[in-house]
Amino acid sequence: MALSGMRGLSVFISDIRNCQNKEQERLRVDKELGNIRTRFKNEKGLTPYEKKKYVWKMLYIFMLGYDVDFGHMEAVSLISAPKYPEKQVGYIVTSCLLNENHDFLRLAINTVRNDIIGRNETFQCLALTLVGNIGGREFSESLAPDVQKLLMSSSCRPLVRKKAALCLLRLYRKNPDVVNVDGWSDRMAQLLDERDLGVLTSSMSLLVSLVSNNHEAYWSCLPKCVKILERLARNQDVPQEYTYYGIPSPWLQVKTMRALQYFPTVEDPNTRRSLFEVLQRILMGTDVVKNVNKNNASHAVLFEALALVMHLDAEKEMMSQCVALLGKFIAVREPNIRYLGLENMTRMLMVTDVQDIIKRHQAQIITSLKDPDISIRRRALDLLYGMCDVSNAKDIVEELLQYLSTADFAMREELSLKAAILAEKFAPDLSWYVDVILQLIDKAGDFVSDDIWFRVVQFVTNNEDLQPYAALKAREYLDKHAIHETMVKVSAYILGEYGHLLARRPGCSPKEIFCIIHEKLPTVSTSTIPILLSTYAKILMHTQPPDKELQSQIWAIFSKYESCIDAEIQQRAVEYHALSMKGAALMDILAEMPKFPERQSSLIRKAEDAEADTAEQSAIKLRAQQQTSNALVVTDQCPANGTQAVNPLGLVKVPSMSNAERSNAQQGATHANGALTVVDPQLLSTPSPDLLGDLLGPLAIEGPPGTGPQIESRMASDLEGGANADALAIAPVEEQTQTVQPIGNIAERFRALCLKDSGVLYEDPYIQIGIKAEWRAHHGRLVLFLGNKNIAPLSSVQALILPPSHLNMELSLVPETIPPRAQVQCPLEVINLKPSRDLAVLDFSYKFGTHVVDAKLRLPAVFNKTAVEAARSGQRCKTYATGEMANLFISFRMMVCPGLDPNTNNLVASTTFYSESTRAMLCLVRIETDPADRTQLRMTVASGDPTLTFELKEFIKEQLVYIPVPSRAPNPGPPPNPTPQALPTSPNPSPPSAVSDPGALLAGTVGEMNNTMHGLGWRE
């Protein structure tokens, strides 16, 4: 041990240690800073030893948190000292004292550069360390090439090169252009052949950072990473000093697997096989041992392996192995492993098909929600949130509610937000939703944001069946002695609107309701009083026949607040007072609130926003990503589309201000009451964050002028005429058909689905139909996902399949109604009997409110789906005759087989087609092109079955004609319901004269194709 003593420094440190309090410490520090300042003033008189001592003292003071605003120059000047001891101190103190934005650092760039390009390797190390720790953009601009040179140099020793690698990583983070050098990716691959583990570890960190931004350039590194992993995990081929508790560098293993996770997939079958062998070995071979450090290190590797397996979408067997391991981990006592088990299980939710296995661990996860460790509780909450769906929402949300009363304050807000979101998204029925939110407000009122109670009001307003129930519940909560102010707001609002529905129940007469609400008034703040005043006005309106006593009581309150200092309260009091004098006219003005237009839940949006600035992998994001596949998205209504906005207000009739005759008819049924719909067009076109902005000013008096006279007339024609945005609020009560426009282009969606196995088939404002297909030989299993996007149920749901003659299709039962916000899955079995290009059609209809929607959708059970890439040995070649065409073939599930045809301008592809009549049938396709004349090509199709050959030829022809034009015409706008057969391919078109459009060009060339060859007379 060589502890070079610096007495002055030690004395100072022990002085600081002996200080009794912060004040003394500050005095001592100030004294020392004064001392150092005077010493530095006369720099010439300082010996190198003294200089070192003072800069160390400065660093110590700085580390304690005091500002040190001088002496930087002295620290930086030590860097240029000729001798090692001064230089070392200069470098290290500078790199701690300054950060990358500091001006003084610029002064040092030249010295640093000289040290880097100089011959002295210890100086090189010091300089690289400084740049690696605090180098900024300027450093990266001036030093990157020198650092790269050191890294690649064969004459440098590993101790310099490993620092160079990490230094370059720092420079790359500051300025990604530093690796925009010709041949850099090759050099990176070359670095991975390094034998020295120190250099290799550093290079791997560099690679991780590079591939995380752009994996494309580094494909050649992938097999090398797998090799390294094999070397470490399988062959254990590392020097003794690089094993850690007997494990071959766990850090390098982790980094290597991390790098592999940034590649979308591992294509080469051999590499993939070796990788899975290693992973299997890690998954199976990791045991729990007594030594903590060994255990941690081996589990660090294990968890990384789990992440990689998840990423690679391994076979089901391996996946269930992983879930089983995680299931074990979340039950162990060791807190670290349990924490990581929960965290990784949340990531696992992204993987399809394992959700059900994860659900089996629900009870165990709920136990972790009560763990003494907040870190573990958070993970458990995140996981529960992520795994929640319609099937288990009741249990999970109730568990969260229960936990809410004991949860620590740090978690309550998150907890209540999550509970509210889950309740909204997965409510099995709406009354349960109301229960949950009211409980939430009751238990954690302080943490329930306005959004949450706004949302429950919206649901209640839009669902008539719910209104009496909600009113009853609100009434019950008011019986409690101390209730949260938010509860006062929500119950007052609901009782004002719907309290009259309870009139027959005991304790619910208008007067009693008024009394119990009014009791709360002294306890609430000014923001709540306006809501109470509206409630009083509404109670008064609903009291038929008028109750004089109640009336005078309420009027007294109004007149009391007419002089209130708060403008909002005052205005309401004055207006309500004046209005309530009007008697019958009150009816019109204070009628029930109209339904709210559908908007994205601000809660969910909030959760997503919050997500943006926090963790990448948390469950909220997973949830957000899942939504797209779940078809359960609450979309913003597209304001441009008038008909969409019509719906939520569908039941509202618009009265004219002057129209008095109407009111007689409306005494009875309240919901038929004319309502003044205050629909600010702006609100519709720009979804405002404050959802109830209009709700809180419910009585603003503004009728849509000029629309009055038309009410009684039928409006359908107007609306269908795409009439206008100001017709928004008006919709006739009569049934409408087909005014609902699909979102997105159905034909485009269909085409996309022909080339892939899952996606959205159809979407409109109310429903989204997703599809997922799996094909095995000539059997197919399609699952239709019907997702109701609304907060009201979809009824009369019907789905009929009209199969063509060659397909046997069986659709399982489709439920008659889809509950709000729910998704149902309907499996559909398909058997392909013989080759044909005819398509199956799904006739889908449902009813929402007054809209009957009927859509006829083509199902993507197309010709190519029952083809399987013929598993031939040939590797994919990079020089296709026409790259685009090759890709197209691959997306048809045809294998492009380079090398079969000696002419490189030709493209050969093969596939095996399955159907019941043909069984497995090999098909071969050859496309001959002439590089000199791109307008022509010849296609030869061969198979053992004439029909198949013909159909395949026609199919490819159609598809070739359809190659999308990427650069132009983003909206090709095909006719609304085209069938592919109807595409502009005449059997024998002559080559077009005007060759500007590539599609047309191909259409011409396809005409040259022939289908001469039947049988397999074609040699390989």
Residues numbered 318 to 377 that lie near other proteins (CB under 8 A) are: 335-336, 338-340, 372-376
Burial of 521-539, coded b for 16+ CB within 10 Å and e otherwise, reads: eeeeeeebbbbbbbbbbbb
241 vs 479, beta carbon nearer other proteins:
241
200 vs 791, beta carbon nearer other proteins:
200
248 vs 642, beta carbon nearer other proteins:
248
Q: Does 619 bind other proteins (CB under 8 A)?
A: no
Smallest distance, Å, CB 903 to other proteins? 49
Burial of 56-92, coded b for 16+ CB within 10 Å and e otherwise, reads: bbbbbbeeeebebeebbebbbbbbbbeeeebbbbbbb
Query: Of 289, 363, 293, 287, nearest to 331 (Cα)?
Result: 363
Query: Applying CB under 8 A, which of residues 80, 296, 449, 551 lies at the interface with other proteins?
Result: 296
What does the DSSP 8-state code read for residue 661? Answer: G
Could you say which residues in the range 11-50 bind other proteins, by CB under 8 A? Answer: 13-14, 17
Measure the CA–CA gap between 354 and 970, rounded to whole angstroms: 38
Measure the CA–CA gap between 892 and 506, rounded to whole angstroms: 70
Q: Does 625 bind other proteins (CB under 8 A)?
A: no
84 vs 1018, beta carbon nearer other proteins:
84
To 5 degrees, how large is the angle CA 570–CA 576–CA 577?
Answer: 90
Smallest distance, Å, CB 900 to other proteins? 45
Could you say which residues in the range 575-614 bind other proteins, by CB under 8 A? Answer: 613-614
Smallest distance, Å, CB 389 to other proteins? 25
Smallest distance, Å, CB 375 to other proteins? 5
80 vs 129, beta carbon nearer other proteins:
129
135 vs 849, beta carbon nearer other proteins:
135
Tokens read off for 706: 């000029």
Smallest distance, Å, CB 836 to other proteins? 49
Measure the CA–CA gap between 918 and 754, rounded to whole angstroms: 22
63 vs 657, beta carbon nearer other proteins:
63
* Residue 995: Cβ within 10 Å count: 13
Q: Does 800 bind other proteins (CB under 8 A)?
A: no
Q: How many residues bind other proteins (CB under 8 A)?
A: 79
Q: Does 104 bind other proteins (CB under 8 A)?
A: no
Smallest distance, Å, CB 211 to other proteins? 14
Q: Does 707 bind other proteins (CB under 8 A)?
A: no
Q: Are 57 and 74 in contact (CB under 8 A)?
A: no
Q: Are 876 and 951 in contact (CB under 8 A)?
A: no
Smallest distance, Å, CB 49 to other proteins? 9
Q: Does 286 bind other proteins (CB under 8 A)?
A: no
Q: Are 416 and 404 in contact (CB under 8 A)?
A: yes
* Residue 127: Cβ within 10 Å count: 28
Q: Are 839 and 820 in contact (CB under 8 A)?
A: no
* Residue 697: Cβ within 10 Å count: 14
Q: Does 205 bind other proteins (CB under 8 A)?
A: yes
Chain-centroid distance, C-alpha 81: 54
7 vs 504, beta carbon nearer other proteins:
7
197 vs 444, beta carbon nearer other proteins:
197
Query: Applying CB under 8 A, which of residues 32, 115, 146, 304 lies at the interface with other proteins?
Result: 304
Query: Applying CB under 8 A, which of residues 72, 161, 258, 926 lies at the interface with other proteins?
Result: 258
Smallest distance, Å, CB 307 to other proteins? 9
475 labeled binding residue: no
Could you say which residues in the range 121-140 bind other proteins, by CB under 8 A? Answer: 122, 128-129, 132-134
Measure the CA–CA gap between 220 and 210, rounded to whole angstroms: 13
Could you say which residues in the range 143-202 bind other proteins, by CB under 8 A? Answer: 159, 162-163, 166-167, 169-170, 173, 197-198, 201-202
Tokens 């254990």 belong to residue: 236
Q: Does 54 bind other proteins (CB under 8 A)?
A: no
User: Cα Rg for the chain, rounded, in angstroms?
Assistant: 37
User: What sign results for the dihedral spanned by CA atoms 978, 980, 982, 986?
Assistant: positive
Q: Does 915 bind other proteins (CB under 8 A)?
A: no
Beta strands at 247-248 and 243-244: parallel, antiparallel or unpaired: antiparallel
Measure the CA–CA gap between 789 and 823, rounded to whole angstroms: 9
Beta strands at 807-811 and 795-802: parallel, antiparallel or unpaired: unpaired
- Angle between helix axes 316-329 and 269-285 (nearest 10 degrees) is 30
Query: Applying CB under 8 A, which of residues 33, 76, 156, 297 lies at the interface with other proteins?
Result: 297
Beta strands at 767-776 and 736-737: parallel, antiparallel or unpaired: unpaired
Query: Applying CB under 8 A, which of residues 21, 22, 45, 67 lies at the interface with other proteins?
Result: 67
Q: Does 873 bind other proteins (CB under 8 A)?
A: no
Query: Applying CB under 8 A, which of residues 40, 184, 219, 251 lies at the interface with other proteins?
Result: 251
Q: Does 288 bind other proteins (CB under 8 A)?
A: no
Query: Of 223, 220, 127, 131, nearest to 178 (Cα)?
Result: 131
218 labeled binding residue: no
Q: Are 973 and 965 in contact (CB under 8 A)?
A: no
Q: Are 8 and 53 in contact (CB under 8 A)?
A: yes
Query: Applying CB under 8 A, which of residues 74, 124, 151, 250 lies at the interface with other proteins?
Result: 250
Query: Applying CB under 8 A, which of residues 40, 60, 219, 880 lies at the interface with other proteins?
Result: 60
Torsion over CA of 595, 598, 603 and 607, rounded to 10 degrees?
A: 180
Q: Does 823 bind other proteins (CB under 8 A)?
A: no
Could you say which residues in the range 397-436 bind other proteins, by CB under 8 A? Answer: none
Smallest distance, Å, CB 65 to other proteins? 5
Smallest distance, Å, CB 173 to other proteins? 8
566 vs 611, beta carbon nearer other proteins:
611
Q: Does 299 bind other proteins (CB under 8 A)?
A: yes
Q: Does 65 bind other proteins (CB under 8 A)?
A: yes
55 labeled binding residue: yes
469 labeled binding residue: no
Query: Applying CB under 8 A, which of residues 24, 31, 50, 85 lies at the interface with other proteins?
Result: 85
Q: Are 384 and 396 in contact (CB under 8 A)?
A: yes
Determine if residue 722 is left, alpha or beta; phi over 0 gives left, psi from -120 to 50 gives alpha, anything else beta: left
Candidate segments 98-106, 490-498, 707-715, 1003-1011, binder of other proteins by CB under 8 A: 98-106
49 labeled binding residue: yes
Tokens read off for 824: 């149902």
Q: Does 496 bind other proteins (CB under 8 A)?
A: no
User: What sign results for the dihedral spanned by CA atoms 311, 312, 316, 317?
Assistant: negative
Smallest distance, Å, CB 73 to other proteins? 18
Tokens 């009113």 belong to residue: 471
Binding pattern for the stretch 226-245 against other proteins, x by CB under 8 A and - elsewhere: -------------x-xx-x-
Q: Does 795 bind other proteins (CB under 8 A)?
A: no
Q: How far is CA 875 from CA 121, 327, 888, 899, in A?
A: 46, 40, 17, 9
Smallest distance, Å, CB 5 to other proteins? 9
Smallest distance, Å, CB 214 to other proteins? 18
Smallest distance, Å, CB 796 to other proteins? 47
66 labeled binding residue: no
Q: Which residues have C-beta within 8 Å of that of residue 616, sequence separation ≥ 6?
A: none
Smallest distance, Å, CB 569 to other proteins? 40
What does the DSSP 8-state code read for residue 794? Answer: B
User: Strand pairing partners for 853?
Assistant: 846
Chain-centroid distance, C-alpha 21: 50
Is 810 buried (19+), middle (13-18) or exposed (0-12) by CB count in 10 A?
Answer: exposed
> Binding site, residues?
7-8, 49, 53-57
